[in-house]
Amino acid sequence: MVCFNILYYVSYILVPYRCSSCSAVFDERRLLEAHYDLTHGDGLAKFCFRCGKLFSTLQSYNRHCQFVHEQPKPVPKHSCKYCNQSFATVQALKIHSTRKHTGCLYFLSREIVFE
């Protein structure tokens, strides 16, 4: 009787995430969600085994793998002339300038002008 109580304690209390469709147990919610989606779900959700993130669509999973795991980070080419922070795109530099430096105005030519 003691062994059963210990087994019950270990399987039901220490392991907080139990699959409602089978007897699989997990110590992390994300692992349970990945198990359920891959084993019992419609097969559309994807789990990234490299970093542990769960994605609701195949498209978002593929984009994640492409930009996070497969491509090197772009080398920053555009530097802010006020704080010397660098950005990979002109658009990122413009967003930075409008958010971080006061007195910024956009004109029709999309040039950034500081007053």
Tell me the per-residue pLDDT of 39-73, one tens digit each, with 9 for 90 and over: 776 666 677 888 888 887 778 888 888 888 886 76
Alpha-carbon gap, residue 99 to 85, rounded angstroms: 13
Is the pLDDT at 10 greater than 80? The verdict is: no
CATH of domain 2-70: 3.30.160
| Full-model pTM | 0.32
pLDDT at 109: 43
pLDDT at 107: 42
Planar angle of CA 12, 15, 17, nearest 5 degrees: 95
Bin 84: left if φ > 0, else alpha if -120 < ψ < 50, else beta: left
Is the pLDDT at 1 greater than 60? The verdict is: no
Q: Where are the domains of the chain?
A: 2-70, 78-114
Q: Give the model confidence (pLDDT) of 22-40 as tens digits.
A: 878 888 877 887 787 777 7
pLDDT at 4: 52
Higher pLDDT pick, 66 / 13: 66
pLDDT-derived band at 102, boundaries 50, 70, 90: low
